[in-house]
Chain A
Amino acid sequence: MAFWRWALCALWIGLCGCGGGMFYATGALVKDAPEPPLSLLWQQKMDGAPLGAAVDAAPLLMQMSSAGTLYAFDLRSGERVGKKGFDDKVCGAVQLAGDVLLVGTVGKEAALVAWDRRVQKERWRHAGSFCLTPTVRGDTVFVAAEDGVLRALALAGGEELWRASLETRLRTSPTLDGHYLYVGDGRGVVRALRAVDGDEVWRHQLKAGVRTVPLVHGGTVWVGTATGEVAALNSDDGGLQWETQLGALPSEGMALAGETLVVGAANRGIYGFNAARGDPLWHFETDGVVRSWPVVSERVCYAASSDGRLYALGTKEGNLLWKFRLDGAALQPVMRIGATVVVATEKKMLYAFGRR
Chain B
Amino acid sequence: MNALRLLCGLVLLAGPLQAQFTSFGKNKVQFAEFAWQKMETPHFDVFFFEEEKELASYAAHMAERQYRDLEVKFAHTVQRRVPLIVYSSHIYFEQTNIIPSLLPEGVAGFTEYLKGRVALPLSGSLPDFERVLHHELVHVFTFDRIAHVLERHGVLDFRPAPLWFTEGLAEYWSSEWSSFGDMILRDALFSRRLYSIAQMEYIYGTFQMYKEGESICHFMAERHGEDVFEQLFANWWRAEKFEEIFQLTTGESLREFDEAWTYSLRKRYLPDIAASDPPAHMAEKRTREGFNIKPSIVPTELDSVAFVYFTNSQGYTQIALQRGEGVPEIVVEGERLPVFESLHALSTKIAVAPDGQRMAFAAKSRGRDHLYVWDIEGGEQVGDFIFDDVVAIASPSFAPEGQRIVFSGARQSGLVDLYVVDLQSGQLEALTRDLYHDRQPDWSPDGRHIAFSSDRFAAGRDGLYNLFLYEVESGRIRHLSQGDHNDQHPAFSPDGLQIAFSSDRDAMFNLYLTQLDSARTGTRRLTRVLTGAFDPQWRSDGSGVLFSGFQGGGFQIYELDIEDADSSEVVWHPIVDAPQQPWSLEGRQGESLYALRPYSSEMTLDIAQSQISQDPEFGTSGGIQLALSDVLGNNRYAFVLSHIAGSRTGFFDGLNVALSRMHLGQQLNWAWGLFRLNDRFSSTFGRFVREKRTGGYLGLSYPFSRHDRVETRLSLRHAEIDRQFEGRRLSGWLANNFVSYTHDSSLWLPTGPLEGRRYSLGIGQTVDFKSSRRFNVTLFGDYRHYFRLSQGTGWAMRYMGRRSTGDVPEFFSLGGSWTLRGYPWRSIWGRNMVLINQELRFPLVDRLVIDFPFGAMDFSAFRGALFVDAGNAWNDDFGEWRGAVGSGVRLALGGVFVFRLDAARRTNFKRLGNQTHWDFFFGWDF
Contacts and interface: CB of A to CB of B under 8 A. Distances in A.
Interface string B213-251: 000000000001111001100000010000000001111
Contacts of B71: 266-268, 288-289
B151 to A, nearest CB: 8
A22 interface: no
A66 B75 contact: no
B77 A289 contact: yes
Given A67-B154, A186-B225, A346 B148 contact: yes
Contacts of A171: 227, 231
Nearest to A91: B238
A306 B68 contact: no
Given A147-B251, A266-B71, A346-B148, A208 B227 contact: yes
B75 A291 contact: yes
B173 to A, nearest CB: 14
B152 interface: yes
Interface in B145-191: 148, 152-154
A187 B68 contact: no
Contacts of B42: 287
A49 B77 contact: no
A143 interface: no
Given A66-B154, A346-B148, A306 B230 contact: no
A21 interface: no
A248 interface: yes
Nearest to A147: B251
B76 interface: yes
A211 B77 contact: no
Interface string A315-356: 000000000000011000000000000000010000000000
A211 B227 contact: yes
A55 to B, nearest CB: 19
Given A249-B72, A266-B71, A346 B152 contact: yes
A187 B251 CA distance: 12
A36 interface: no
B771 interface: no
Interface residues of B, number: 23
Contacts of A91: 238
Interface string B67-98: 01001100111010000000000000000000
A289 B75 contact: yes
A29 interface: no
Interface in A255-275: 266-268
A134 interface: no
A280 interface: no
A306 B77 contact: yes
A48 B75 contact: no
Contact of B79 (A147, A226, A291, A328): A328
Contacts of B154: 48, 66-67
A267 B68 contact: yes
A66 B76 contact: no
Interface in B119-155: 148, 152-154
Contacts of A268: 68, 71
A209 B225 contact: yes
B238 A248 contact: no
Given A289-B71, A328-B79, A187 B225 contact: yes
Contacts of A291: 75
A304 to B, nearest CB: 12
Contacts of A106: 238
Nearest to B250: A169
B808 to A, nearest CB: 61
Main SS class of interface, A: loop
A222 to B, nearest CB: 19
A294 B608 CA distance: 42
Contacts of A34: none
A249 B152 contact: no
Given A267-B72, A329-B77, A227 B226 contact: yes
A288 B238 CA distance: 26
A80 interface: no
Contacts of B238: 89, 91, 106
A209 B76 CA distance: 19
Contacts of A306: 76-77, 79
Contacts of A168: 251
A353 to B, nearest CB: 22
A66 B248 contact: no
Interface in A117-160: 129, 146-148
A91 B235 CA distance: 10
B77 A226 contact: no
B175 to A, nearest CB: 20
A307 interface: yes
Interface string A47-63: 01100000000000000
Given A208-B227, A226-B226, A307 B77 contact: yes
A306 B249 CA distance: 24
B227 A209 contact: yes
A147 B250 CA distance: 9
Contacts of B148: 346
A66 B152 contact: yes
A201 B883 CA distance: 89
B70 to A, nearest CB: 10
Q: Which of B77, B227, B238 has the most C-beta atoms of chain A within 10 angstroms of its own C-beta? A: B77
B77 A288 contact: yes
B542 to A, nearest CB: 54
B72 A266 contact: yes
A227 B72 CA distance: 10
Nearest to A305: B77
Contacts of A147: 251
A328 B79 CA distance: 9
Contacts of B68: 267-268
Contacts of B230: 226, 249
A235 B837 CA distance: 85
B72 A66 contact: no
A186 B232 CA distance: 13
Interface in A191-212: 208-209, 211
Contacts of A129: 248
A306 B145 CA distance: 13
Which of B71, B152, B224, B231 has the most C-beta atoms of chain A within 10 angstroms of its own C-beta? Answer: B152
Contact of B251 (A169, A249, A329): A169
B63 to A, nearest CB: 16
A208 B153 CA distance: 28
B770 to A, nearest CB: 60
B764 to A, nearest CB: 56
Interface in B93-125: none
Contacts of A67: 153-154
Nearest to A248: B72
Contacts of B250: 169
A346 to B, nearest CB: 7
B237 to A, nearest CB: 8
B77 A48 contact: no
Contacts of A209: 225, 227
Nearest to A228: B72
Of the candidates B225, B231, B238, B249, the one having the most CB atoms from chain A within 10 angstroms of its own CB is: B225
Contacts of B249: 169
Nearest to B73: A266
14 contacts: A48-B152, A66-B152, A66-B153, A106-B238, A169-B250, A208-B225, A226-B225, A248-B75, A267-B68, A288-B77, A289-B71, A289-B72, A289-B76, A307-B77
Given A67-B153, A289-B76, 9 more contacts: A48-B153, A171-B231, A226-B227, A249-B227, A268-B71, A288-B71, A289-B77, A306-B76, A346-B148
Shortest 8 CB-CB contacts between residues of A and residues of B: A226-B227, A306-B77, A266-B75, A248-B72, A288-B77, A209-B225, A49-B152, A266-B72
